[in-house]
Amino acid sequence: MNAALLVVLTIFIVITAIAVAWQTIILVSLARVLTRLALRSERVLNEVEGRLPPLLTESEAILRDSRAKIDIAGTHLIEITGLARDQMRRADELFAEISDRARLQVIRLDQAISTTFEKVEETTELVQRTVLRPIRDAAAVIHGVRTGLDFFLRRRPSPPALSPQDEEMFI
């Protein structure tokens, strides 16, 4: 049994040795790959570090230039907003003034029309008093004279003519 145990033990030692050798090969390969990767990374890092300062400097210059332009644009925007607000205020004042003036003109026009109507009424009354009433009175006198002449010349009374006032009273 000792011999069989020795054979089994030898087989396990050989398998273990092969496994250790295999692991060593894998670890050496992994070390080579990692070394190449480290070298490559170092080259890329050196290249990036070489290019980075000019890029940063250029970016800072662009930002400074842009900041100045943005500040100027902001200042202009503030000025434009202020001017627009002033123009709107002026337009509002102008419209208010135009509205007030239009309202005053409408009031004056209304007063002028009212005054004109009052004067037309006064003139109508004056014409009736000074022109039409004397004409009616003269017509009444003429009618009376005519009736009197007819009476004296004919010696008979003529039928009385109805005046417009008599007709209105009759109706």
Number of domains within the chain: 1
Per-residue pLDDT, 163: 62
Residue 163: Cβ within 10 Å count: 13
Indicate whether 151 belongs to any domain. Answer: yes
Indicate whether 45 belongs to any domain. Answer: yes
pTM across the whole model: 0.38
Q: How confident is the model at residue 155 (pLDDT cuts 50, 70, 90)?
A: low
Average pLDDT over residues 20-42: 94
Indicate whether 50 belongs to any domain. Answer: yes
Six token digits for residue 117: 């109507």
Indicate whether 152 belongs to any domain. Answer: yes
Read off the pLDDT of residues 44-80 as tens digits, 9 standing for 90 and up: 888 888 888 888 888 888 888 888 888 888 899 999 9
Indicate whether 19 belongs to any domain. Answer: yes
Q: How confident is the model at residue 133 (pLDDT cuts 50, 70, 90)?
A: confident
Average pLDDT over residues 14-20: 95
Indicate whether 170 belongs to any domain. Answer: no
Cα–Cα distance between 135 and 130 in angstroms, integer? 9
Buried b (16+ CB within 10 A) or exposed e, 68-79: eeeeeeeeeeee
Cα–Cα distance between 24 and 28 in angstroms, integer? 6
Q: Which domain holds residue 132?
A: 2-160
Indicate whether 13 belongs to any domain. Answer: yes
Indicate whether 79 belongs to any domain. Answer: yes
pLDDT greater than 90 at residue 39: yes
Q: How confident is the model at residue 89 (pLDDT cuts 50, 70, 90)?
A: very high
Q: Using alpha carbons, list the distances in angstroms from residue 161 to 134, 149, 164, 165.
A: 20, 15, 10, 11
Q: Where are the alpha helices (DSSP H) in the chain?
A: 2-127, 133-154, 164-170
